[in-house]
Amino acid sequence: MPEIDIRITGRAGRIALTRPKALNAMTYDMCMAIDTALRNWREDDAVDLVIMDAEGDKAFCAGGDIADLYATGIKGDYDFGRAFWRDEYLLNALIFEYPKPVVSFLQGFTMGGGVGIGCHGSHRIVGESSKIALPECSIGLVPDVGSTLMLALAPGRVGEFLGTTGHRMGPGDAIFSGFADHFIPIAQWPDLIEMLEASGDAELIAKHASPPPESHLAELQPFIDAHFAGESLSDIQNALSTSDHAQSDETLKSMSRNSPLSMACTVEILHRLRGPSLTQRKALELEYRFTYRAMEHGDFLEGIRAQIIDKDRTPRWQFSDRSVPAVAVSKMLQPLGSDMLTFEER
């Protein structure tokens, strides 16, 4: 079975991820196939909208397939990873800026790279099983694929909370925080897709939407805003450590699994992005500064070793005392000069 099924059905360009046993994890070839299809359909009058979905109940897309990234990076070859991230980010920008409706159906896990293809379109649909998360700090990365845009725009300090803890959002949380638009029961998806294919009319989606479940994140926002408003990771950790709130210990436990350098850079990225100059391209360019350096200077290879390769779940992070110097954050996020991410058409 191929990794991805790309076709035109009726008035719709159809992109279906077909690796259910691998939780539809994104490979570099899948990324480039989606990119090519979207560029072809952009000027095709036969295509009114694009529909993205995936096979299997467990996941729309549980992230990027990082086996090749590790295999090359551990040998000191950082160019493959840098090219993968660059081209993936260009695809994320293409989806975000696409001139036609892009409809995504996000069942089960949508994490990491899955957020990059599933959560930048114009119509993002979740159902009962949807779980959206950004667990990148647990493998020594930062939330990327343009997700820092949504984190920076999330209510209050919810972005810092999601980015540093990897908290899994249910459907109500995803809509509350800006990662999804509509809740539609999964049993209705096949009929809705058929109608979209036949009509090419994305306005049908809102007519089929149901009220979303309650958001646990919305209930937690007062706690989050009170404890995640600091200027640095140290400020956040200090606020949580001295808090008597029932949620504080669980939050610190979630953060204890993650790379301190990655969490500190995540906080700094969100602080730099917030404001009137926030754009998707700015978010991607800042993320790329980190991922470009992640293998050589960050914790990425150690994070993958501990989580995926040896599976000992005991990564030896830099700054294991959880005190990350500001200079270390600045080093990871300084401009890349001639290697910076640019968005010219390929």
Among candidates 139, 145, 71, 111, which has minimal Cα distance to 300? Answer: 139
Side-chain-facing half-sphere of 344: CA atoms under 13 Å:
2
Query: Is residue 94 included in any domain, yes or no?
Result: yes
pLDDT score at 1 = 55
d(CA 234, CA 217) in angstroms, rounded, equals 23
Residue 345 lies in a domain: no
In a domain, 346, yes or no: no
pLDDT confidence of residue 321: 87
Between CA 204 and CA 310 the distance in angstroms is: 48
- What Rg, from alpha-carbon coordinates, does the chain have? 19
What Cα–Cα distance (Å) separates residue 116 from each residue in 95, 130, 145?
Answer: 9, 16, 5
Report yes or no on 89 lying in a domain: yes
Mention every residue, 6+ apart, whose C-beta is less than 8 A from residue 242.
none
**Structural domain harbouring 192:** 4-339
Other C-beta atoms within 10 Å of 197: how many?
18
Catalytic residue IDs? 64, 113, 136, 144
User: Quick check: is 14 in a domain?
Assistant: yes
Q: Are 13 and 57 in contact (CB under 8 A)?
A: no
Domain count, the chain: 1
Give the pLDDT score at 346. 60
Q: Is residue 331 part of a domain?
A: yes
SS (H, E, C) the chain: CCCEEEEEECCEEEEEECCHHHCCCECHHHHHHHHHHHHHHHCCCCCCEEEEEECCCCEEECCECCHHHHHHHCCCCCHHHHHHHHHHHHHHHHHHCCCCCEEEEECEEEECHHHHHHCCCCEEEECCCCEEECCHHHHCCCCCCCHHHHHHHCCCCHHHHHHHHCCCECHHHHHHHCCCCEECCHHHHHHHHHHHHHHCCCCHHHHHCECCCCCHHHHHHHHHHHHCCCCCHHHHHHHHHCCCCCCHHHHHHHHHCCCHHHHHHHHHHHHHHCCCCCCHHHHHHHHHHHHHHHCCCCCHHHHHHHHHHCCCCCCCCCCCCCCCCHHHHHHHHCCCHHHCCCCCCC
- Residue 224: inside a domain: yes
Kindly report the CATH number assigned to the domain that includes residue 118: 3.90.226.10
**344 domain-assigned:** no
Per-residue tens of pLDDT for the chain, all 346 residues: 589 999 999 999 999 999 999 999 999 999 999 999 999 999 999 999 999 999 999 999 999 888 889 999 999 999 999 999 999 999 999 999 999 999 999 999 999 999 999 999 999 999 999 999 999 999 999 999 999 999 999 999 999 999 999 999 999 999 999 999 999 999 999 999 999 999 999 999 999 999 999 999 999 999 999 999 999 999 999 999 999 999 999 999 999 999 999 999 999 999 999 988 899 999 999 999 999 999 999 999 999 999 989 999 999 999 988 899 999 999 999 999 999 999 987 6
